[in-house]
Structure 1
Amino acid sequence: MTTLVREPRKPASLRPVAATPHPRPLRLLRHSLALTKRSLIKTWRTPEALIDVSLQPVLFLVIFVYVFGGAVAGSTHDYLQFLLPGILAQTIATGCIAIGVNLNTDLEKGIFDRFRSLPVPRSAPLLGAVLGDIVRYAIVTVVTVGFGYILGFRITTDPLSALAGGLLAILFALCLSWLPVFVAMKVRTPGAVQGLMFALIMPLSFASNVFVGTGTLPGWMQGFVKVNPLTHLVGAVRGLFLGTPLENHVWWTLAWCAGFVVVFMPLALRAYRKKV
């Protein structure tokens, strides 16, 4: 009679772990929104982190309108009408830098190591952080337009067009955010993120139509200005706020938004997986 010998059961720690399937879109969205809520709570508890998106547009409007308005446009009111959409675009672009600094700081503190130990998709923390910054960009838009109205700025189109201009600026910021997220995954310190991103954003801000018309700039610079993503964003917002010719600025802005996501989102996610 043959005796069956049962093979000893392996401890759980030595058993092969089944491969985790790719996260389903709904599961990824659910966890990303949960981490978005975490980001919003963090922002709510540290309101000083909103200084760059609440105080900066106020200072820029006052300084540029009343110091340079008379010299540039001959009238502070006329310059305010011209400048405000540009200040909105510039501030919303520089406001993206904070997400890179914050993510790099979280990496240094080991917070993402805790996320890795949780049963959440690997990309959910980055998606949650980007979506959580929508509040910052909404604050920039409201503060800039609201304070502009106090100074005398007036939207000359209809409310629907004005809303579309604000939403387009917020969408641009959300898409551009993937650039500082990618930088945060590649450099070592938060200071390096801030320095590198300012070096990238400042030329885009000043070599554009934010402060002066494109036609007043040197010919050799105009070629860059005409393809500058901020130039198209400012042109689109001016058209939607003030009724100036839209031309193809809205389509170019949407194309730039798609480009930022298509290029920098995969790069950021890939660098994040290697980092953690």
Structure 2
Amino acid sequence: MSEAPAAPHAESADRDRADGIDLPLRPPEPRAGWRVLPARVLAMCAVELQKLRHDRTELYTRAVQPALWLLIFGQTFTRIKAIPTDGIPYIDYLAPGIIAQSAMFIAIFYGIQIIWERDAGILNKLLVTPTPRSALITGKAFAAGVKSLVQAVVVIVIAAVLGVALTWNPLKLLGVAAVVVLGSAFFSCLSMTIAGIVLSRDRLMGFGQAITMPLFFGSNALYPLSVMPGWLQAVSKANPLSYQVDALRGLLLGTPSHLALDFAVLLVAAALGIAAASSLLGWLAR
């Protein structure tokens, strides 16, 4: 009676053991979401830095608008003293607001990129990976924060050249970086949430242009709350950009601020933005 031939898998395993190779019997399990999140965030940030490294055109062109705000608007209103700023030059008062504005203008159109990724088929490929949707959104949100941080450095350099009395305390500058990243994370998530609703680049451009100016002028970036009418003060208090500007002024200029409240609002806003954008990511990919 002849023996049954050995199974191919058994022969392969015996051969591997004979060659001194110890292969796993099971494929490795995918990493859990909480372990994927930091890697995804770092990967997205690295991608954005690579883009800036290979093409600095965007960096130069985006520096024009804040420079004009500081050179023309800031210096003109410093001379006429039309806006109360508690004794500090208006250009100093304006600089943190322009930093926040520049970061918001970068982040608010970030949804266009995710729509382009959907049209190119990249988004569907990302969604079939084990990476949680919240990790994808968080990575993109903080990548927007990295781009905004580079822009903030440019604005700070321009302000310093114009003689704005900014702090150079390393700890406060780290706080400035955290404020810029958190604010950008919220506004990029707002953009991606709108992208998940409108599903079109043209519509997103329209919505982005429709909300950027109200967000900017409905904040304390250009003038203090005390000179606003009552209804605009209510709008400003519900606007995350106001808390970002307040924190930047407190850190860069040393003016009275509410840093604990500002950071708390920005953290909650960023978390809610990530949750909203993540919930609509599947709808966007359809």
Q: TM-score, normalised by structure 1?
A: 0.78
Q: Residues 86-165 of structure 1 correspond to what in structure 2 (within 5 A)?
A: 86-116=97-127, 118=129, 120-156=131-167, 158-165=169-176
Instruction: Map Cα deviations across residues 107-134 of structure 1 (whole Å, 9 max, x no partner).
Output: 1222213334556445544333223223
Distance change (3 Å), C-alpha of 1:23 and 1:207: same
Distance change (3 Å), C-alpha of 1:253 and 1:130: same
The amino acid that maps onto 2:75 is Y
* Secondary structure of the corresponding residue to residue 89 of structure 2: helix
* Secondary structure of the corresponding residue to residue 170 of structure 1: helix
Shift of 1:21: 8.2
1:81–1:153: 8 Å Cα contact kept in structure 2?
yes
Aligned equivalent of 2:79, options 48, 59, 70: 70
* Secondary structure of the corresponding residue to residue 237 of structure 1: helix
Paired positions, count: 254
The amino acid that maps onto 2:119 is E
Distance change (3 Å), C-alpha of 1:50 and 1:178: same
Instruction: Map Cα deviations across residues 32-57 of structure 1 (whole Å, 9 max, x no partner).
Output: 54344344434444433445643332
- Distance in 2 (alpha carbons) for counterparts of 1:226 and 1:119: 39
Shift of 1:150: 0.7
1:273 correspondence with 2:276:
no
Instruction: Map Cα deviations across residues 201-249 of structure 1 (whole Å, 9 max, x no partner).
Output: 3212112221122222223322323343222222221121112112x2x
Q: Residues 171-250 of structure 1 correspond to what in structure 2 (within 5 A)?
A: 171-246=182-257, 248=258, 250=259
- Distance in 2 (alpha carbons) for counterparts of 1:165 and 1:128: 20
Aligned to 2:264: 255
- Distance in 2 (alpha carbons) for counterparts of 1:264 and 1:182: 8
Tell me which moved more, 30-39 or 180-189. 30-39
Aligned to 2:178: 167
Shift of 1:161: 2.4
- Distance in 2 (alpha carbons) for counterparts of 1:53 and 1:181: 21
- Distance in 2 (alpha carbons) for counterparts of 1:234 and 1:56: 18
The amino acid that maps onto 1:258 is L
Distance change (3 Å), C-alpha of 1:62 and 1:125: same
Quote the RMSD (CA, aligned, Å).
Answer: 2.9
Aligned equivalent of 1:30, options 39, 46, 50: 39
The amino acid that maps onto 1:274 is W
Distance change (3 Å), C-alpha of 1:159 and 1:39: closer
1:41 correspondence with 2:53:
no
1:82 correspondence with 2:93:
yes
- Distance in 1 (alpha carbons) for counterparts of 2:41 and 2:225: 41
* Secondary structure of the corresponding residue to residue 211 of structure 1: coil
* Secondary structure of the corresponding residue to residue 263 of structure 1: helix
2:114–2:192: 8 Å Cα contact kept in structure 1?
yes
Aligned to 2:25: none
Shift of 1:136: 0.9
Distance change (3 Å), C-alpha of 1:259 and 1:28: closer
> Structure 1 unaligned runs (5+)?
1-19
- Distance in 2 (alpha carbons) for counterparts of 1:66 and 1:114: 50
Q: Please tell me whether Structure 1 or Structure 2 has the larger radius of gyration of its CA atoms.
A: 2
- Distance in 2 (alpha carbons) for counterparts of 1:200 and 1:173: 15
* Secondary structure of the corresponding residue to residue 110 of structure 2: helix
* Secondary structure of the corresponding residue to residue 219 of structure 2: coil
The amino acid that maps onto 1:154 is A
Tell me which moved more, 104-113 or 147-156. 104-113
Aligned to 1:264: 273
Q: TM-score, normalised by structure 2?
A: 0.76
1:35–1:128: 8 Å Cα contact kept in structure 2?
yes
